[in-house]
Amino acid sequence: MPGQDPFEGVTPVSIAGDADNRRMTITWNDGHASELTYEWLRWHCPCASCAGEGGAPGELAFTTELTADQTMLDDLQLVGSYGMSPTWKDGHHTGIYTFRALRAMCPCPECDARRRSTAASPS
Ligand SMILES: [Zn+2]
Ligand SMILES: [Zn+2]
């Protein structure tokens, strides 16, 4: 059905941090696994100051390069059962990444190809 959320009810079964390689792997209950680098996560921080709000661009729109501290994960808190909130080394911690959004944004080649084909087909 058009408009139906394909990721409704998708939640992580495990979140494995890999500090040495500065990334985490989220394994989902639909069988998929997303490998997310800390840098990718920080670039996709959904908070109002990073991503903007109400049509106004956020700080990331004016950022060309992130600092080492901005992409170093200090802590990771779960937010209810629907999301997670990383604390970055530079003290930033207001971004709440919902699992549904992360699953939809998964940067792996397979998901990238699926998003492209979905966008291309008028259906
Ligand atoms: Zn942010
Ligand atoms: Zn994927």
User: Mind listing the pLDDT tens digit for each residue in 104-113?
Assistant: 999 999 999 9
> Ligand 1 centroid to 60 CA: how many Å?
8
User: Mind listing the pLDDT tens digit for each residue in 30-60?
Assistant: 999 999 999 999 999 999 999 999 999 999 9
Whole-structure pTM value: 0.90
Domains of the chain: 12-114 (3.30.2020.30)
Q: CA 118 to CA 122: how far, in whole Å?
A: 8
The pLDDT score that the predictor gives to residue 103 is 97
> Ligand 2 centroid to 51 CA: how many Å?
22
Query: Ligand nearest 49 Cα, by number?
Result: 1
> Ligand 1 centroid to 63 CA: how many Å?
12
